[in-house]
A and B are shown apart, each in its own frame.
Chain A
C-alpha cells in the first residue's frame, strides 16, 4: 500500500526552528518528485515547497523562501522540511504529497503551531 506519514510537528516559539519528516512506503521513492503543502486553520491549501526525485532541483513559495529548506534521503525513503525563523503565520497542518504531475497521494498531515 502506498503511504506517506508525516512527523515532527509541534508547538514552537516565534523565531524558532522545526524539522518535519515524511516517511514514504509502497512505491519507489526516488522515482518521484515530492512536495509540501500546508493548510492554516480554517483556510485553503497553500503550496510550500517541492523537490525532484534526485533531490537536485528544489522549489519554494515566496512566503517561505530563505527560511525553509526541503531535502530528501532516498536511501531512507524520507522527505524533510527544515523550517527556520518561524512566524505565527506559519501555523498550519503540513502535508507531504507524492507528485506525479499532480498530488496523487497525501499524508495525514502534522500540525505546526507557532506561538509564544
Chain B
C-alpha cells in the first residue's frame, strides 16, 4: 500500500507564505480529495482541512487547501512561529479500500 508523496522539509521566513504539496493517484487524492493534519512535537495530530478546502471551525483563515488532479496543496500565509510543525496529508483509496498518509513535511519557520 504505497503512501502519498510529500517533500520531507520546507523552510520559509516569518510572515512569508509556504505551500506544501501531496501527490497521490486517481484512486485516492484524485478521487476523494485530501485532508491535511498538523502535528506539533509530543502532541496528537490536528485536522486542518478536509475534502480539499473545508476548514473545521477554529482553524485559522491563513490556511487554505486546494487540489489539481492528483496533487493536493496546503498554503499557509503570514507564517508565524506556531506554524512550525509536521504536516501530513491523508486520503481514502477507493480502489484498495484503505486510508493512505503522506510521509509528512516538516515546516520550519525561520
Contact = CB atoms under 8 A, between A and B. Distances in A.
A101 B104 contact: no
Nearest to A48: B99
A62 B56 CA distance: 31
A47 B44 contact: no
B50 A102 contact: yes
Chain A CB within 10 A, most for which of B47, B56, B86, B99: B99
Contact size range, A:
20 to 34
A107 interface: yes
B46 interface: yes
A107 B44 contact: yes
Contact of B104 (A44, A47, A102): A44
Given A44-B88, A102-B35, A95 B47 contact: no
A45 B104 contact: yes
A50 B56 CA distance: 22
Main secondary structure, interface of A, reads: strand
Interface residues of B, number: 23
Contacts of B98: 47, 59-61
Interface in A28-84: 35, 37, 44-47, 50, 59-62
A103 B45 contact: yes
A108 interface: yes
10 contacts: A44-B88, A45-B45, A47-B90, A47-B98, A47-B101, A50-B99, A61-B1, A62-B1, A95-B44, A102-B47
Given A59-B98, A62-B1, A102-B50, 11 more contacts: A44-B102, A45-B90, A47-B99, A59-B97, A61-B98, A95-B45, A101-B51, A101-B92, A102-B47, A103-B37, A106-B46
The 6 closest A-B CB pairs, nearest first, are A102-B50, A102-B35, A47-B99, A106-B44, A44-B104, A45-B101
